[in-house]
Amino acid sequence: MAADATTPQEPTAPPRWLRRLAIAAGVVALAAVIWRVSGIGGESRDDADRSQQRSGVTVEVYEVGRREMTESVRGVGTLDAGAVVDITTEVAGRVDTLHFREGAAVAEDELLVSIRDSRLRQRHAAAQASLIAARSRAQRAESDFERARRLRENRQISEGDFDEARANLETTRADAEAFEAELALIAVELEDTRIRAPFAGLISSRAVDRGAYVEIGERIATLYRSDPLEINFSVAERHLSRIDLDMEVEIHVSSYPDEQFSGRLDYISPAVDAGSRTIALRALVDNPDGRLRPGAFANVRLILERRDYAVVPAESLIGTRDGYIAYRVEDDTAHEIRVETSLRDNGWVAVSEGVSEGDRIVRRGHSRLNDGDAVRIVDDAEDVASGAGAR
């Protein structure tokens, strides 16, 4: 009996989880190969660090030079007018004309106000006529007196007649002098009807209108002397021994933030304020174009001294508990040095000890430096960051 034939079975597929595990293992193995070949691994990084040490740390340097540095003391204050006067009238009358423009600059002796003067001119004309008449009477009395004197010498008139002629002469002369004085007074009053600026400055708004009647002493406007202006400020008493009159002063105001105005110290208080331990000062500030205005807040810088120093950029210094250090480059090698600093001004630091003119000091890149490291000098900060631009 023939045996039964059997049909061969198909192979069973591996489970899905096993296939995923195989794929993941392949990915990890490929990544490891790429990591090692590309040099990203720890061994290649160490090689890169050793290569940088052999070629030098990339730095930017500054050659020490000399620069004028300013030692100063600062204060604050308010700008005041050099003088303030009320424009008033010395004669009563109606305002005929206001010649000024409110808020404008006026020149010294410029006509500001005219007071109506018609009545004064009438009085002046009358006094002038009276003076002419008085002078005429005085001349006649003088002739009479001379005749009486001759007659008296010849004893042709009495002593009483002679005395009467002399008294008449003195009276007429006195009348003429009185009319002369009155005429001069009226002339002054006429001049006072034309009110002029006592000094150059800025004039305020008007306090009266044209046609208004003003009394003697009534305010018409206010005049401010704007050049020079004054500023009062205080500094600590410890600076007193170094302060003297005519010292230079720099002024900064918020209305012109990018500009500097100059002046000179004009006053030093004879006493220190016992409460604040400060000394009061006053400076005169040049203001030829009138841009600065009284009442403005200002920052004041009193210049104590200007002198040349060996300077380095502030970013080249590294602060420590014991002071400042820097790195001086000699033969492409960085040497740590200790420096003594003094003044600072706009990003520059005056160095009194530790460096000399011509020394090359690391300006940027010192954060990666140690004493004795080799360096590669580059041109700017971007090259320091990238390591490019070596020379």
Bridge-based pairing state of the strands 229-236 and 213-214:
unpaired
Written as tens digits, the pLDDT of the chain (391 aa) is: 333 433 344 445 556 655 666 666 665 666 655 555 454 444 444 454 444 455 678 888 888 888 888 888 999 999 999 999 999 999 999 999 999 999 999 999 999 999 998 888 888 888 888 888 888 888 888 888 888 888 877 777 788 887 788 888 888 889 888 888 988 888 888 999 999 999 999 999 999 999 999 999 999 999 999 899 999 999 999 999 999 999 999 999 999 998 999 999 999 999 999 999 999 999 999 998 888 999 999 999 999 988 888 888 888 888 888 889 899 998 888 888 898 888 887 788 888 888 888 889 888 888 888 888 888 888 765 555 445 444 4
232 and 352 share a domain? no
Which structural domain, as residue segments, surrounds residue 212? Answer: 84-223
Asked, for residue 107, whether it belongs to a domain, the answer is yes
Predicted local distance difference test score (pLDDT) of residue 371: 87
Give the pairing of strands 297-313 and 348-353.
antiparallel
107 and 214 share one domain: yes
Q: Are 280 and 232 in contact (CB under 8 A)?
A: yes
My answer on whether 198 and 110 are in the same domain is yes
Show which of 305, 336, 364 is a domain's final residue.
305
33 occurs within a structural domain? no
* 178 and 300 together in one domain: no
Q: Is residue 217 part of a domain?
A: yes
CATH of the domain at 331: 2.40.420.20
Residue 322 counted as domain residue: yes
CATH number of domain containing 269: 2.40.30.170
The whole-number pLDDT of residue 23 equals 67
Q: Is residue 7 part of a domain?
A: no
Together in a domain, 103 and 203:
yes
Residues 176 and 88 in one domain: yes
Regarding whether 299 and 316 lie in a shared domain, the answer is no
pTM of the model: 0.59
Q: What is the pLDDT of residue 32?
A: 59
Using alpha carbons, list the distances in angstroms from residue 281 to 9, 225, 269, 284, 293: 113, 20, 6, 10, 20
Total number of domains in the chain? 3
* C-alpha–C-alpha distance, residues 99 and 86, integer Å: 16
Q: Please check whether residues 174 and 252 belong to one and the same domain.
A: no
> Which of 174, 195, 223 is the endpoint of a domain?
223
Q: Are residues 94 and 150 in the same domain?
A: yes
In a domain, 45, yes or no: no
- Say if residue 106 is in the same domain as residue 192: yes
Domain boundary among 176, 207, 223: 223
Q: How far is CA 120 from CA 124, 135, 377, in A?
A: 6, 22, 90
